Structure 1
Amino acid sequence: MTLAKEPRVTIVVVNYNCSPYVEKCLGSLLEQSYSNIEILVVDNASTDGSAEQIESNYPDIRLVKAAANRGFSAAVNTGITSSTGDLIVVLNIDAWVDRDFVRELAAALLEEPAAGMAAPKMLFARDARVVNSIGLGYNITGSNHDIGFGIDDGPQFSERRWVFGPCGGAGMYRRRMVEDIGLFDEDFFMYYEDVDYSFRAQMAGYRCIFVPTARVYHIEGGSGGSLPRPKGYYFARNSAEVILKDFPGFMLLKYSPIVVWEIAKRVCSGLLRADASPVLGYAAALGRLRQILKKRRGVKDRWRVPGAYIEGLLSENRHVLKHINLHGRPAKEPS
């Protein structure tokens, strides 16, 4: 797609000990058909030589070295605050993109003024015939899912549609939206930071458009690296924080029985596997309740859409997390 004027785009790539993926990822970014572009890699204190690899082999790419690994969200924020773009792409380093990836995302945001975010079609690198994600689904139980995960690519994924938000592995954001709602929440460290950010954006009136012509190929689990705690801990803690921080008050009251039931199921499932990480995660969220409620006030201050829109958006996702909007049905319009 030809753009009359190309807004400046910054691509923020987070690296942590991902030397095997550097060449494929950065090579695909350097070959973009879009010209007004800045590529910025934030290295999260890697120890595998990947930062030196980038510094030596990619002189046209800006490298920002963090002194310590403070998590994905903090690295993304470092990239955003160091960027110059009007549009900002966040991309996992264990992914590579088609030549028109940036152009198609930028065109979609220029054509869709209601959108503050754009989600590409993410396919599995191991089999590009299968969808990894066309965006996030999130529902009233506090559960999220990659829409289309594991489904063969086809006509049902060939048209633009509204989704909850972009998967954290690849997405584009308007700078003016970022300046309005703020940066990613660094307390999440890893996981659910994309859900929280998309929720805050939706509450403030910024929607997300899925762009099927922007394609990215993802090596699932390639950039996770080692974590201080088990994944189950972060999933539990962060999912609870999203509920406590972002759910409108009337929805907390209305759907709390469902939410509590889902949490109980996850805790019991973990304990049956002799895995206490969900219990510890939920306990950690409760231990941070004061800080969470303080952040909740900030979300509430930027709440601009009707509560019915948010409830409709999340209720729509409840029973169709995998197959949501397969026939191009858009999310409900704000009234």
Structure 2
Amino acid sequence: MTAIPRVTFVLVSYNGREMLTRCLDTLAEHTPGPYEVVVVDSASPDGTGEWLEANLTGATVLRMPENLGFGAGCNLGVQHARTELVCFLNADVEVTPGWLEPLLARLDSTPEAAAAGSVLVFPDGRLQEAGSIIGGDGWSRGLGDGDADLSPLYPRSADYSSAACLLMRRRAFWQTGGFSPEFHIAYFEDTDLQFHLRSLGWQIWVEPASQVRHIRHGSSTTPRAIELSAINHEVFVRRWPEALAKRPPVADVHEHWHRLWWLRDQLAPYRVLLTTDEVPDPTQGQGAQRAWAVIQYWRQAAPEAAVTVLATRGDPAALRATGVEVSIVDDPKAWGRDRAGLYDVIVALSARGFPLAEQLSRTQPQAVRLFDTQTFLHREAERRFSALPDAEARRHCAIEAATWREAERTALSWAELSTVGSQAELDWSARYAPQATLRVAPYPVPVTPAATGLDRRDGLLFYGAFAATTTGNEIAAQRLIEQVLPLLEAPRLRVIGAHAPDSLRAPGVDVIGWVPDPAPYLRTARVLVNPSPAAAGAQTKLLDAMAHGLPFITTPQAAEGLPLGELREHLVAESPAELAELTQRLLDDDAKWTRVQSALLDLAATHFTERHFRAAMAEVLIHCGIAPPATTFATATP
């Protein structure tokens, strides 16, 4: 069956036959078919129209009797389009490999979006424009113009994205009546169109995964471009006086940086800043999964919300791809001054993110202050203290625990509302920070609808991220291998988790390390064993196992706060001998294993689904004066 084209490419030419030919060549080279092409020649005096008519095959060529301009040419081209989508493409644009798919994906995933624009780069690779801001003076500024580093870009809703390369729903285009005939030849007609689309409730998105090369003013001289721009600027200002009256001028934004960020984010229903020491990577555990889920809730609760994560280190690429701005800063004080008064909400992600949040809240006195943590770090350090054999290590651990305890008490007092991961954390907070306003927002896990049965499961699994310094996970894994495993009847043990140390290698132990997706291991192991001295870094793994129908054996510390009920006596033990005994029972007794799996799946569905997490986070939004989303959504993963 022949595929039906989704896109018609509309190009308007005026002279520049060689440049137009190059544009069409790169389009054919880098664009998967099928698609249709309409080229409208605006009475080119150099014979481009005649050449197109004689030589261009597989495309519709239309010739206007006089140069009526870009807008009129595009309107004519769209009249001949039959596809769901149209893509406006300047003749001085060269598309690149993989440029179209991200634009299509954006429109497919965002029904509120009328259009998605590419990032424009200069021929030398520098950034030309990643969407633009429009000031109250009616002038625009391309964001990032001249930047050499494009990595900070992220998908976002924008004021305006250049029609040099803009994919649009055809029905949305005609809903506005098309490009206005009031504009003279070129400039501002695409800005006007997008203002009109926004007035009708549509969104405009910029998608940095799509990048194209653009020769600025390719078909006209720069003086002529300035002249045309000035003429059409007057028309644009006259057409949108009320919308522009609410904005500061754009002319001097680089002298007043807070205006630039306000103009960029002024369309957002809310602006939230989340602070952390390291950009969360959900493959690393140690609270990163919880932080990721919280960030994604803020991101998805309103598609146009402006969500910024501020950190001092880490890899931001995966988070940026989900539409989150990530800033890695050395000087947070200067960063905060540049964005003074911008944010509606500041969220400290655990005690590690609290120092940044406290510092930045001085430049954001209007922001609601929130504190969020899965588990308290001082409690992890206290539990680790008892498992460390070395006196000097215990002394450092005690100092660490005291430092975290004071930081967490201060954070609870600083915040107007604090959210924690379990009832146990809530109880501690209520005792030691009685003035704090608290909510439980349990870490969400997607419950497997049809968990794998016994016939496709075998062996033991340890699942947890490790770090350069000794952590609860490393202590737990060593305890399992050295003290529990020898008491069992030689089952196979697999160890998965980032940065798994070589010291864990032993007979019968398969140290796999980091895996892109733990689900296949959670679906094929018979029992997960984690004799962790603390909940931090372990409990989210227990919940993941629970959601995949994988029974686990663990310690009272790691299971603290989990509503296990009668299951506790079958799954929780302290000594290596007791842990081994419970593990062996699940290895030997098929009927018991099946009962435990069923009970854990029911427990996950009752307490730890995304629905429960979203309900708790909706209360947080309400506390901040923000309307929670009416629809459901899934937590994005990298």
Please give the per-residue CA displacement for 1:281-328, whole angstroms capped at 9, x wherever unaligned: xxxxxxxxxxxxxxxxxxxxxxxxxxxx999339x9xxxxxxx99974
Question: Hey, what does 1:283 align to over in structure 2?
Answer: none
The two structures have a TM-score, normalised by structure 2, of: 0.38
Change beyond 3 A, Cα 1:84–1:178:
same
Change in Cα spacing, 1:98 to 1:326, as seen in structure 2 (3 Å) is farther
Q: CA deviation at 1:6?
A: 7.0
Q: Which residue of 1 aligns with 2:111?
A: 113
Counterpart residue type for residue 17 of structure 1:
N
Query: How much does 1:225 deviate?
Result: 6.1
Determine the C-alpha separation between the residues in 2 that align with 1:58 and 1:32: 18
Which of 235, 241, 246 is equivalent to 1:241?
235
* Cα displacement string for residues 235-280 of structure 1 (whole angstroms, at most 9, x for unaligned residues): 333223222212437x64x66xx77x97xxxxxxxxxxxxxxxxxx
**Please, which of 247, 261, 267 is the counterpart of residue 313 of structure 1?**
267
- SS of the aligned residue for 2:67 comes to coil
Q: Is the 8 A contact 2:119 2:207 kept in 1?
A: yes
1:60-119 Cα offsets, whole Å, 9 max, x none, are 121111111011111111111111121111111011102432332112111111211111
Correspondence for 1:186 among 181, 184, 193:
181
Check whether the contact 1:73–1:184 (CA below 8 A) recurs between aligned residues: yes
Alignment of 1:184-333 (within 5 A): 184-189=179-184, 190-224=186-220, 230-248=224-242, 252=245, 312-313=266-267, 328-329=324-325
Secondary structure of the corresponding residue to residue 179 of structure 1: helix
SS of residue paired to 1:248: helix
Question: Which secondary structure state, in structure 2, belongs to the residue aligned with residue 212 of structure 1?
Answer: strand
CA drift of 1:9 comes to: 0.4
What does residue range 60-139 of structure 1 map to in structure 2 within 5 Å? 60-125=58-123, 127-128=124-125, 130-139=126-135
Which segments of 5 or more consecutive residues in structure 2 lack a partner in the other structure?
252-262, 271-305, 310-323, 327-341, 344-625, 628-638
SS of aligned partner of 1:36: coil
Please give the secondary structure, in 1, of the residue aligned with 2:40.
Answer: strand
1: CA distance, partners of 2:55 / 2:116: 30
Equivalence for 1:162: 157
Partner of 2:143: 147
CA contact (8 A) 1:22 1:54 kept: no
- Report the number of matched residues: 266
Check the 8 A contact 1:164/1:208 in 2, yes or no.
Answer: yes
Counterpart contact for 1:25–1:94, Cα < 8 Å: yes
Mean alpha-carbon deviation: is it higher for 131-140 or for 38-47?
131-140
Change (3 A) 1:142 1:325: farther
**Aligned residue type for 1:53:** W
Aligned CA distance change for structure 1 residues 156 and 145 (closer, same or farther; 3 Å): same
Residue pair 2:19, 2:92 contacting (<8 A) in 1 also: yes
Conservation of the 8 A alpha-carbon contact between 1:146 and 1:167: no
Measured after TM superposition, the shift of residue 226 of structure 1 is: 9.8
| Distance of 1:40 and 1:137 partners within structure 2 | 30
- Greater relative contact order structure (CA < 8 Å, 6+ sep): 1
Instruction: Measure, in 2, the Cα distance between the counterparts of 1:236 and 1:48.
Output: 26
Superposed CA deviations along residues 169-216 of structure 1, whole A, max 9, x for unmatched, are 111111121121120012212111111111111111111111112221
SS across alignment from 1:29: helix
Quote the sequence identity (%).
26
Amino acid paired to 1:119? G
1:42 alignment counterpart = 40
Deviation at 1:221, TM superposition (A): 1.7
CA change 1:231–1:213 in 2 (3 A) is closer
> What is residue 286 of structure 1 aligned with on the other side?
none
**Distance in 1 (alpha carbons) for counterparts of 2:32 and 2:241:** 38
- Tell me the secondary structure at the aligned position of residue 205 of structure 2: strand
Distance 1:329 1:14 in 2: 35
Q: TM-score, normalised by structure 1?
A: 0.70
Contact 1:203 1:310 in 2 (8 A): no
1:224 aligns to what SS in structure 2?
coil
Distance in 2, Cα, partners of 1:325 & 1:16: 42
Deviation at 1:124, TM superposition (A): 0.7
Q: Contact 2:102–2:210 at 8 Å: present in 1 too?
A: yes
The aligned residue for residue 303 of structure 1 is: none
Tell me the distance in 1 between the aligned counterparts of 2:264 and 2:129: 22
Q: Which amino acid aligns with 1:15?
A: S
Q: Contact 1:137 / 1:145 at 8 angstroms: preserved in 2?
A: yes
AA of the residue aligned to 1:245: R
Structure 1 residue 30 corresponds to structure 2 residue 25: no
**Partner of residue 319, structure 1:** none
Q: How far does residue 231 in structure 1 lie from its aligned partner after superposition? A: 4.3
Report the AA paired with residue 23 of structure 1. T
Deviation at 1:28, TM superposition (A): 1.4
2:95 aligned partner, one-letter code: V
> Letter of the aligned partner of 1:202 in structure 2?
R
Which whole-Å CA distance do the structure 2 matches of 1:165 and 1:232 have between them? 19
The residue type equivalent to 1:112 in the other structure is: T
The amino acid of 1:134's aligned partner reads A
- Give yes or no for the alignment of 1:172 onto 2:167: yes
Quick check: 1:55 aligned with 2:9?
Answer: no
